[in-house]
Chain A
């Protein structure tokens, strides 16, 4: 126990890898054993991160539970981990969604062993990004996460998976090329990769020094855009979003849950952890551009979702819409750093990251539930299903309402805070974003109507096509999400307190 409490972060980070190794030695035909090992071992990091949450002291500035080991001395990179309120929230989200996604994957029967191993490796990749305090380690985990996701889409996805997985991989990799180059440049200039040190020294540089034969201002601006583009692709922000609907639609259900629930948050996390602290001046200067992109994402995401006839694509576009609000909050905070409005917007943005993780994972799972039964996602082929599957219908409406931003559920709290914060800073953009919010209501109601209401499609009512009700395992996946959605909607203080203090200290 002593070892674990002093190495809490490394344990959380690498436990999934150990579990994956253990699964490697289970014979491939012992499907049940593999599933349960994966599920139970993914609960361990979740338990540990609850411990972490309880032991974390939100009143202390800076990073806690830090661990630092020698890693790559030749280029001064160390294996440095730590959490603050921001990363803690994201770690909790990741470790919560992974067991749920694994439980959701119990219906997978093809190559279960490889699937579970990849899933656990994916968890480590994501956690590493949130925990890293060394830029190189950050990048290492940033890229590692791509590999299992690529294979999850490529091997267990639906019809067009080859195209979607390659697009996802190449898009993200090309996006992170600029990030890689910028990281190398920082390493060459400062001879360190420590995020905290770099943020201080990099932000302090003034225009008088000359680097690489160019003025500091130019170098900083180019590096700023390199970071922004890498993270914007991951979020994804309009116009870099086109990989997302493809990847989501083709990915297996649990893959979409993690993709929307956690992977998209990596991009937003990058903005908060690296872009704002490293480039406060550039962020303020280009806040208008960021806000413009965010508003475009909000509006186009909403209209795009409304235009879909594929249920999963509809949910995918809704992710673009919701993540646009996160970026809007970040842009507002960048423009007026340090003000009360900015802090409110930031709080909203981080909470929105968490909330969207819950509701998007839930929505994708619910799409998966109906897809498994009907083998179609075409909204035109559903209709009037509520009387057949009342429990499923109720859950779907509940989660949809959270996504829509109904007061009393979690989405309302975070979106309200973002809008409240950015209204004072970027009034025009915020007003335009409201147009997107209107459409959010429209596409969600359209989705519910097409699936649950209207005239019943008799095809699903009789015989072998008779739609079956959501089962206990599937309900078990949804229950934790629904509880959190409700709790945050009614009493957000428990999580906002941690986020707020972190934001106050960070910016």
Chain B
């Protein structure tokens, strides 16, 4: 039997979470070391999966399937394709760096790491799930600890409000998606006679055929259910007009959670919207694509403008995530090769970039205890590593060539050109706006004169922090200079999506 590597990846954080929970809460160092060991292990395994994915074979690989509740057609079925493999790697990276920079959390580290790993396990689960029920199962596992992490360890002023807002938004979204999923389950059962949640079965041609009768109107099944399913998941991806939980959530969360939140959780929404919405309901995707394109365009441009006027350092990054996730949705909505390859790369690139951003913001905030741009300044002398990392992240975010943001955004724009050139022209405004707010934030926070009250209070960052920042920067450089490290892989995944859509 083949080594069940994906299951090991999924259960490493879950088991680690359990072990940490059972440890003595006073022995903080042991807890930290356990957490780091688990994170390194998961990262190494995800690197291994990434590099041993066989590109000549393509399709879903590292498959495992066990019956779970055969009566209802539910199985434990996992596997990765070209789109999810980079995301598994991303989760491994964010988990590793997240543990490193939370090393000095003093308030109940046991519970903190336990919940963080529960979250990570859920995220891994969604990315590898090939069974719709399992996908929901892990999805909820990922969302639930978020509430506690924000409400307990978050920023005192808004944590309760933000945690509540976030959780309600996301649960509302997943309820819609769940109803849609059940409808799909019945439809597949009626069409094929086999009641199953197995997505590989559900995506077969004809499985989702049929009409929905409502108020005497006959609407094709896929067209009717696409919107609740896609938007339900896309809420977690921050799609307009359901995006406003995300900046609040980002800001209120403690640093490592913000990294997870913006770096990985938002990808979770986008990924599930693709996997369940577009891949299972392709006709619906074709029907509604211009709506999605329009919403995503608003995300891209409006998010950038809102980020421009923020004075809170962390809110700037929060809204920039809204803008950048809009590009992912824009890429999906093109439903063509370039756009979707770009969207796949952008998910990875944005994840790494935004994790870096939040890590940097957290390091500044921990020392200055303020995030207001007018109150900050001159941090480059005390925190050169943070400044350089933030600048690199900022360059990625404005799509500077040579870094990963460019190789991701460029194909997205190409894809949009192919479809609606005017949308590409409008969306491109966001590039200049992004350059504007990034440069302004960099200048206000890191350059200029340091306010007197900070003199001598800004302690240097630790070696672990440097490793975390360095790793993330390195990944962005590597992908930006050698896009072929990832693009062909994503392209294989995209080809499969296009096959379902009836093209290519």
- 1/0 per residue A152-178: CB within 8 Å of B? 001100000010001001100110010
A173's partner among B413, B435, B490 (CB-CB below 8 A) is: B435
8 Å CB contact of B432 from A141, A147, A174: A174
Asked whether, in the complex, the Cβ of B439 is within 8 Å of the Cβ of A71, the reply is no
Interface centre among B429, B439, B440, B482 (most CB of A within 10 A): B439
Shortest Cβ gap from B342 to chain A (Å): 9
- Are B407's CB and A72's CB within 8 A? yes
**A140 CB-CB contact with B under 8 Å:** yes
Mark contacts of A112-153 with chain B using CB atoms, 8 A cut-off: 1 yes-contact digit, 0 otherwise.
Answer: 000000000000000000000000100111111001001000
Give the interface residue-count category, chain A.
20 to 34
Residue of B402, B425, B483 most packed against chain A (CB within 10 A): B402
Contact A177/B428 with A136-B410, A139-B401 known, Cβ cut-off 8 Å:
yes
Task: Take A74-B411, A139-B401, A169-B439 as given contacts and tell me if A177 and B487 are in contact as well, using a CB distance cutoff of 8 Å.
Answer: no
Residues of B3-39 at the interface with A, using a CB-CB cut-off of 8 Å, are none
> Is B341 interfacial (CB 8 A cutoff)?
yes
Q: Are A74 and B487 in contact (CB under 8 A)?
A: yes
B414 near A184 with CB under 8 A, answer yes
Chain A residues closer than 8 Å to B429, beta-carbon distance? 177
Question: Which residues from B are CB-within-8-Å of A141?
Answer: 401
Q: Of residues 473 to 504 in B, which have CB atoms within 8 Å of A's CB atoms?
A: 482-484, 487-488, 490-491
Is residue B406 contacting chain A, with contact meaning CB distance below 8 A? Answer: yes
B353 at the interface (CB under 8 A from A): no
- Residue-by-residue, is A447-462 near B (CB-CB < 8 Å gives 1, otherwise 0)? 0000000000000000
Per the 8 Å Cβ criterion, residues 79-138 of A in contact with B are 136
Rounded to whole angstroms, the CA-CA distance of A77 and B482 in the bound complex is: 12
B417 at the interface (CB under 8 A from A): yes
User: Whole-angstrom distance from the CB of A331 to the nearest CB of chain B?
Assistant: 28
CB <8 Å contact, A188 and B431:
no
Q: Report how far A75 CA is from B425 CA in the complex, Å.
A: 19
CB of A156, distance to nearest CB on chain B (Å):
12
With beta carbons under 8 angstroms apart, the residue of A70, A74, A75, A177 that contacts B431 is A177
Which residues does chain B contribute within 8 Å of A181, judged by CB atoms?
Answer: 413, 417, 424-425, 428
Residue on A with the closest CB to B416? Answer: A184
Which single member of A136, A140, A170 contacts B435 (CB below 8 Å)?
A: A170
Question: Out of A73, A143, A180, which one reaches B487, CB within 8 Å?
Answer: A73
Taking a contact as CB atoms under 8 Å apart, the answer to whether A184 and B436 are in contact is: no
Contact of B483 among A72, A187, A212 (CB under 8 A): A72
Please determine whether B400 and A188 come into contact, CB atoms closer than 8 angstroms: no
Assess A140 versus B401: contact at CB under 8 Å? Given A74-B411, A147-B395, A187-B414. Answer: yes
- From the candidates B421, B436, B482, B491, name the one contacting A212 in the complex (CB within 8 A): B421
Q: Is the CB of A173 within 8 A of B338?
A: no
Within 8 A of A (CB), among B405-452: 406-407, 410-411, 413-414, 417-418, 421, 424-425, 428-429, 431-432, 435-436, 439-440, 443, 447
A185 within 8 A of B: yes
Give Cα A169 to B425, complex, Å: 20
Contact A170 B432 (CB under 8 A): yes
| A188-B483 in contact given A166-B439, A170-B436 (Cβ < 8 Å) | no
Q: Is the CB of A144 within 8 A of B447?
A: no
Picked from B411, B421, B443, the residue with its CB within 8 Å of the CB of A154 is B443
Q: B194 → chain A, closest Cβ, in Å?
A: 37
Question: A75 contacts B447, CB within 8 Å?
Answer: no
In the complex the two chains form, what is the Cα distance from A139 to B413 in whole Å? 15
A74→B195 CA distance, assembly (Å): 38
Closest to B429 in A: A177
Nearest residue (CB) in B for A137 is: B401
B424 near A184 with CB under 8 A, answer: yes
Q: Out of B341, B400, B428, which one reaches A74, CB within 8 Å?
A: B341
Neighbouring B residues of A143 by C-beta, 8 Å: 400-401
Assembly CA distance A177 to B429 (angstroms): 8
Tell me how far the C-beta of A180 lies from the nearest C-beta in chain B, rounded to whole angstroms: 7
Closest to B482 in A: A71
Q: How far is the CA of A143 from the CA of B418 in the complex (A)?
A: 24
Kindly state the separation between the CA atoms of A188 and B491 in the bound complex, as whole angstroms: 17
Complex: chain A residue closest to B448, CB-CB: A162
Q: State whether A75 touches B432 (Cβ < 8 A).
A: no
CB pair A147–B400 under 8 Å, yes or no, is yes
| Chain A minimum-CB-distance residue to B435 | A173
Q: Indicate if the CB atoms of B417 and A188 lie closer than 8 Å.
A: yes
Closest chain B residue, CB of each to CB of A142: B401
Which residues of B have CB within 8 Å of A173? 398, 431-432, 435
- A140 lies within 8 A of B406 (CB): yes
Contact of A72 among B424, B425, B484, B490 (CB under 8 A): B484
Q: How far is the CA of A170 from the CA of B418 in the complex (A)?
A: 27
Name the residue in A139, A184, A185, A188 with the highest tally of chain B Cβ atoms < 10 Å from its Cβ.
A184
The contact of B488 among A73, A136, A169, A170, by CB within 8 Å, is A73
Q: Contacting A75 at CB < 8 Å: which of B411, B439, B440, B443? A: B411
Nearest Cβ on chain A to B394's Cβ, whole angstroms = 10
State the Cβ distance, B183 to closest chain A Cβ, in Å: 35
Q: Judging by beta carbons under 8 Å apart, are A177 and B432 in contact?
A: yes
CA distance A322 to B482 in the complex (A): 40
CB-CB < 8 A to A150: which residues of B?
Answer: 439
What residues of B have a CB within 8 angstroms of the CB of A180 in the complex? 413, 428, 431
A residues 338-379 in Cβ contact with B at 8 Å: none
Contact B400 A184 (CB under 8 A): no
CA distance A187 to B418 in the complex (A): 10
Q: Give the complex CA separation of A364 and B324 in angstroms.
A: 41
Instruction: List A residues 171-203 near B (Cβ within 8 Å).
Output: 173-174, 177, 180-181, 184-185, 187-188
CB distance from A120 to the nearest CB of B (A): 15
B401 touches A162 (CB 8 A): no
Q: In the complex, what's the smallest C-beta–C-beta distance from B291 to chain A, in angstroms?
A: 21
A144 partner residues in chain B, CB cutoff 8 A: 400-402
With both beta carbons as reference points, the residue of chain A lying nearest to B490 in the complex is identified as A74
Residues of chain A lying within 8 A (CB to CB) of residue B435: 169-170, 173
Least Cβ–Cβ distance between A219 and chain B, in angstroms: 9
Residues from chain A with Cβ under 8 Å of B413 in the complex = 180-181, 184
The CA-CA distance from A348 to B409 in the complex, in Å, is 40
When the two chains form their complex, are residues B400 and A185 in contact, meaning their CB atoms are under 8 A apart? no
Give 13 new A-B contacts, CB below 8 A, not counting A140-B402, A184-B417.
Answer: A72-B484, A73-B487, A73-B488, A74-B483, A74-B488, A139-B401, A143-B401, A144-B402, A177-B428, A185-B421, A188-B414, A188-B418, A212-B417
Selected A-B contacts with CB under 8 Å, 16 pairs: A70-B484, A74-B338, A75-B338, A136-B410, A140-B401, A140-B402, A147-B395, A154-B447, A166-B439, A166-B440, A173-B432, A174-B432, A181-B417, A187-B414, A188-B338, A188-B418
Can you list the 7 inter-chain pairs with the closest CB atoms, starting with the nearest? Answer: A140-B401, A74-B487, A72-B483, A188-B417, A143-B401, A174-B432, A184-B413
A: residues with CB less than 8 A from B are 70-75, 136, 139-144, 147, 150, 154-155, 162, 166, 169-170, 173-174, 177, 180-181, 184-185, 187-188, 212
Give B residues with C-beta under 8 Å from A. 337-338, 341, 395, 398, 400-402, 406-407, 410-411, 413-414, 417-418, 421, 424-425, 428-429, 431-432, 435-436, 439-440, 443, 447, 482-484, 487-488, 490-491
